[in-house]
Structure 1
């Protein structure tokens, strides 16, 4: 059973698409609205995110994704066999393969990329198509690698923005306050509502804080492909030794491990073995989590609100009965909760 088969389709009214960061709507990032769901009963409580400490207990552990968002939209000239196919062509980085190679989405007017095509960007940066993945997705090998490539991305590229975003907001708006290692092409947005003040308040209450890293890939494709299947979308993750130790200690002491974001759930569940032991280390995951998937590590989830077609919504149903989730989402629409990366928060405990 999947959530798509279990949760009736719903419509997100246009006015509930968060088009601007909270700070540009006149509120602090930790004052967005918060809907808290009881995993067992489906009961709903409403509040503001800075009140999160009212719902957590001493001995609980929050696990955050420390990945930092990079500018991932390039524009350049597309050529094939010496002939120019188009100028100012948009390239969206989708997932990193190695120091100079990325899977990327070519946003074109119907022309399919072919092996050997070349994209020339400003300055010394260029890329060649070394493999075609689909009608709009290709493997690009860049002319620079490592830090040189990263520096050029920061100099030339922009953040990925979807059609509901009202303004070309600066990259700083697409970061969590604790982001450290660059690598995500889209913001790990479940953690955006945290402020340092809230994190310190939670620690004073006895709530632990730990970090993993999962570099997010592109969440939406083109040409009718819609949302990518996680099973075909490998993402790199790291679980540090101190985080693995903190999680296992929390579980042994009867505390709850609360994942901040679906990315954290995927990282933790990918790193766990069949007996529920969590191993530290790095890896790449294409784990698909849905309603029937047993959760071995995560006891709770903090997330945003997700579109009905997204696999993220399927993952939520591993935490709470799909029927209860459906009722809660209808209530969220009635209460005017905002969707997407600049929107409101959903806590499932």
Structure 2
């Protein structure tokens, strides 16, 4: 399948730069696969499209303030973006600066120092810190907003879901940004059930596929987890014919990675390299809530696999014509 098939033209003014004042005021495009119908509404009215007994699966990862600044021994400034924690206080990072090569020492505030111990592809490096860096991130770090967002974020909590708990992501699972505690309480009263999984989102999630064909692409790996309690709730819903609705592509990837081969999931805690693109047959997920994704991205390929390639093209064109807000701080879509 050609990667260029997943390209589309988006007017720059439709890239949301700041979150809406109220999370649930975002628009919601509902695509019914059974009826092949597009409906335009608002996220605050999502209950109309849910049923008592639906199981919504959310990703409770929390974004860490992963953008750090350091100085080389020569005095030059270096930007360091934490991507993935490794062993023994080593991190995989992205570096911004000249000649940040193996052996270079970096000095941060708070007495934190680091040494580049390996060079990976592009500007990726492995850095060895002299102490655990996690406890210092609140003082050292900034929220790592996606590269297409150029406005300052006044409240960093707006780039966190209201149910974010487990620190470890370099980017937010953005489909969950539309939920408030109030709408979750309303849905629970209606009979909707929530359960949590965990996937730590890496910045590679924003990287476009550069290979000519989709099948050539080697997708990034991410760490995810399904607890025994969540697995039991998911399997019970599947056994009773109730819908399992993934909130976000990260929840989709987690659930499909943990599938047990019989329509359910097993407890799972491991990295996943699952690449979902058209032709994939979903085993667990019955519906999903998602945002509008970048051209040629693996996320757009995933939703195209779920809804159908041509159907997604029509949905995106309709969203552009209706001037929906796109990407992380943008509007939402329910594919049922």
Normalized against structure 2, the TM-score is what? 0.92
* Residue in structure 1 matched with residue 96 of structure 2 by the alignment: 107
Matched, 1:194 2:183: no
Q: Tell me which of 134, 139, 154 is aligned to 1:155.
A: 139
Matched with 1:215 is 200
What is the CA–CA distance in structure 2 between the aligned matches of 1:332 and 1:86, rounded to whole Å? Answer: 45
Instruction: Verify: 1:264 aligned to 2:251, yes or no.
Output: yes
Deviation at residue 153 of structure 1 after TM alignment: 1.1
2:117 aligns with: 130
1:112 Cα deviation (Å)? 5.0
RMSD value, Cα:
2.0
Residue in 1 that maps onto 2:80: 91
**Other-structure match for 2:328:** 341
Residue 13 of structure 2, aligned match among 12, 15, 38: 15
Instruction: Note the C-alpha offset of 1:101.
Output: 1.9
Q: Aligned equivalents of 2:127 and 2:242: distance in 1?
A: 45
Residue 34 of structure 1: aligned partner: 28
Q: Residue 329 of structure 1: SS of its match in structure 2?
A: helix
Call closer, same or farther: CA 1:112–1:235 in 2, change over 3 Å. farther
Residue 12 of structure 1 and its aligned partner are, at CA, apart by: 1.5
Q: Is the 8 A contact 2:25 2:42 kept in 1?
A: yes
Q: Which residue of 2 aligns with 1:180?
A: 165
The CA distance in 1 between the partners of 2:55 and 2:276, in whole Å, is 21
CA-CA distance at 1:41 after TM superposition: 4.2
Q: Which residue of 2 aligns with 1:204?
A: 189
Deviation of 1:5 after TM superposition, in Å, equals 4.9
Q: Provide structure 2 residue ranges, at least 5 long, that are not aligned to the other structure.
A: none
Of 152, 163, 166 in structure 2, the residue corresponding to residue 167 of structure 1 is 152
Distance 2:222 2:86 in 1: 9
What 5-or-longer segments of structure 1 have no aligned partner? none
Is the 2:4–2:296 Cα contact (8 Å) retained in structure 1? no
Contact persistence 1:188–1:261 (CA under 8 A): yes
4+ residue stretches of structure 1 with deviation over 6 A? none
CA deviation profile, 1:102-128 (whole Å, cap 9, x unmatched): 2111123xx354221222111211221
In the superposition, the TM-score normalised over structure 1's length comes to 0.89
Structure 2 counterpart of 1:251, from 238, 241, 254: 238
SS of structure 1 residue aligned to 2:307: coil
CA distance in 2, matches of 1:318, 1:248: 23
Equivalent positions of 1:19-98 (< 5 A) are: 19-23=17-21, 28-79=22-73, 84=74, 86-87=76-77, 89-98=78-87
Aligned residues: 329
